[in-house]
Amino acid sequence: MSSNAITATATTTAGKSGRTAPRVVLTLRILLALFFALASALPKLLALPAATTVFDAIGAGHWFMYLAALVELAGAVGLLVRRLAGAAATGLIVFLVFAFVAQLTALHGENAGTPFLFMVPLAVIAWNRRTETADLLRRAVARG
């Protein structure tokens, strides 16, 4: 095989893998946005028994349940906006750390590992969009 053929093959392979990562991250962003909006925030906003029971056990009241739902909904929308996706993923990771602590303490460890399942793909998104997040932070500091 000639060196031109090897170079062309390597370029084609690199091109395909270079397009795969953004597609995977976009898919993660969409799937997580759907999860946080529909499976997590919506039951809280509708005050479904499964959600109210958890917040009653925590002792924070329903206002806190609605606040958590709004944070999740804002994070879901942010994941869908390319420029905000990294910041939204980072914010949702922080939110999930607090959820983990609440599950460990108030709920005595019940389902405490669940937040970590979502932190991993959120961390992938945050890492992938770190440049945009840094730009947002620089602009916010410059304005403030």
What is the number of other CB atoms lying within 10 angstroms of the CB of residue 68? 23
For residue 17, the model assigns a pLDDT of: 63
60, two tokens: 């924070």
The residues, any chain, with a CB within 8 Å of residue 25's CB and separated by 6 or more, are 124, 125, 128, 129
Q: Where are the domains of the chain?
A: 24-143
Burial class (CB in 10 A: 0-12, 13-18, 19+), 32: buried
Rounded Cα–Cα distance for residues 85 and 128 (Å):
9
Global pTM reads: 0.84
- pLDDT one digit per residue (tens) for the chain, 144 residues: 555 555 444 444 455 667 898 999 999 999 999 999 999 999 999 999 999 998 998 888 899 999 999 999 999 999 999 999 999 999 999 999 999 998 888 888 878 888 999 999 999 999 999 999 999 999 999 997
